[in-house]
Structure 1
């Protein structure tokens, strides 16, 4: 997690008033959740907690709403518990559920298949949490149009890394987001690729809800399609088997568009970012598969 020496003093004092004396936790396993998170241990009983500072006010609002109104639908122990908040510093105090995000697991394919089945079932619970309002439906349609608009600046930024054929393909697919019918809405996580965590005692959990909101549920699948499903496409079938239903025709079209958009974002990203080379290779594979799929 983030360097413990960078934890703001007011946040440390607040957390210790809630829990008692805390010390930074040291662990051999990497934690790839998000910036602005600190794992700590309570001196009295060695209980572990996470102190998280949201990167924006919107992220803080989304995450606190998720913990208070949606996370219970996942079932006890399947997500961290929110213990307290410190709004003036955008801070949250959470129980700790350690583990590795799905893309970082090194297990046999059969084990991965079971994990993705369970992931699909867990995500289905989240998507059914709460009822979207009429305003949520309206916002969702506008959000898809905004995503289509996002394609052009990313294409411009990655122009020298894309062929003319690839650029036309991305525009063709993303433009479909403007004309698709109403898609099934639900409470989405927003970043499942890093949010789904496999922990000790074969425990699956979901964390990091800064991007959660009501949206077409298909938006939750794009990062998986550009991540762990690239090298092992059969995991996609296992996930949707656990999810409990297949995607509709319009959802499949939307997923193609969203994966194309995610791929071009990756190609336009900072080349110094951790894991960039593998992400670029995956993006290339995704674009090649999409090109094959849309050929007459």
Structure 2
């Protein structure tokens, strides 16, 4: 029986043709239903690389495009380098930029504030990479409208886990989001919370671009608002100081709505098992904070 944690043989053979003999490795992911990712070591010099197999052909195509045409805008060493691809297996061979995702960092407050400032600088470079087309604008507006419409579906799933006031807040913000148009576009990452990592010597980089593409830039901030910014709001200010601008009124409204929708979506995805209590507590905390904010 094939071990699902081992690098598939055709992919290993392909990688060794490019790199030379590799030390046997196992899947770095604990959940084999997620995207597969292997940290591999070259036997000759112990150099480290990453082999990724995309979940879908669309994800493979998108991440390949980003590495070939976008990441150069971030500056040297700010993203892994793409060395080769194997389209038949949706595989990408990348340099390994080791690092710890932002939510997992355990550093002093002053250091964390500097990291979020530098994160803002780096994300601004990504958002400004490339120029959106009229087609990108139409797709982005449609995607935002779809997110607003999905809110009703999520509320149907988790309604009994939210108070009446929380349900009204989410529904109200979704309605406001559905009529917003013309939000500033940029090339967004899609999952900044896990994509931003700090490596050795406090070097910051971005990785995992399979969900990247043109969208309203504000969509990149919702996960951070539900994560590190929730407990430490000053980090949000530090981030936008590095980003180089604050949000417009419409963007602030959109971020409130997207933050609420993300919290409810996570609640719906995690189910009702006792082990997901932290997700429920986080969702209630997000909605409580949004309730206290001055409406736009």
Indicate the TM-score class for this superposition, using the shorter chain for normalisation.
over 0.9
Match in the other structure for 2:23: 23
CA contact (8 A) 1:54 1:91 kept: yes
Match in the other structure for 1:59: 59
Aligned ranges 1:12-91 → 2 under 5 Å: 12-24=12-24, 35-91=35-91
CA 1:223/1:160 → structure 2, altered by over 3 Å: closer, same or farther? same
Give unmatched runs, 5+ long, in structure 1: none
CA 1:98/1:208 → structure 2, altered by over 3 Å: closer, same or farther? same
Aligned ranges 1:129-168 → 2 under 5 Å: 129-168=129-168
Aligned ranges 1:1-296 → 2 under 5 Å: 5-24=5-24, 35-271=35-271, 276-293=276-293
**For each residue in 1:57-108, what CA deviation from the matched residue of structure 2 results, as whole angstroms up to 9, or x when unmatched?**
1211111111111100000001000011111111100000111100000001
CA 1:31/1:183 → structure 2, altered by over 3 Å: closer, same or farther? farther
Alpha-carbon separation, structure 2, partners of 1:46 and 1:289: 48
C-alpha RMSD over aligned residues = 2.2
SS in 1 for 2:180: coil
SS in 2 for 1:158: helix
CA 1:125/1:280 → structure 2, altered by over 3 Å: closer, same or farther? same
Size of the alignment, in residue pairs? 290
Alpha-carbon separation, structure 2, partners of 1:72 and 1:169: 41
**For each residue in 1:117-175, what CA deviation from the matched residue of structure 2 results, as whole angstroms up to 9, or x when unmatched?**
00000000000001111100111111110111111111111122111211111011012
Alpha-carbon separation, structure 1, partners of 2:130 and 2:248: 22
Alpha-carbon separation, structure 1, partners of 2:30 and 2:220: 21
**For each residue in 1:177-202, what CA deviation from the matched residue of structure 2 results, as whole angstroms up to 9, or x when unmatched?**
22113011000000000000011111
**TM-fit CA distance, 1:25:** 5.8
**TM-fit CA distance, 1:279:** 3.3
Alpha-carbon separation, structure 2, partners of 1:81 and 1:195: 15
Give unmatched runs, 5+ long, in structure 2: none
Alpha-carbon separation, structure 1, partners of 2:279 and 2:235: 18
Moved more, 153-162 or 192-201: 153-162
**TM-fit CA distance, 1:295:** 6.5
Alpha-carbon separation, structure 1, partners of 2:295 and 2:207: 38
SS in 2 for 1:40: strand
**TM-fit CA distance, 1:216:** 0.4
SS in 2 for 1:215: strand
SS in 1 for 2:85: strand
SS in 1 for 2:193: helix
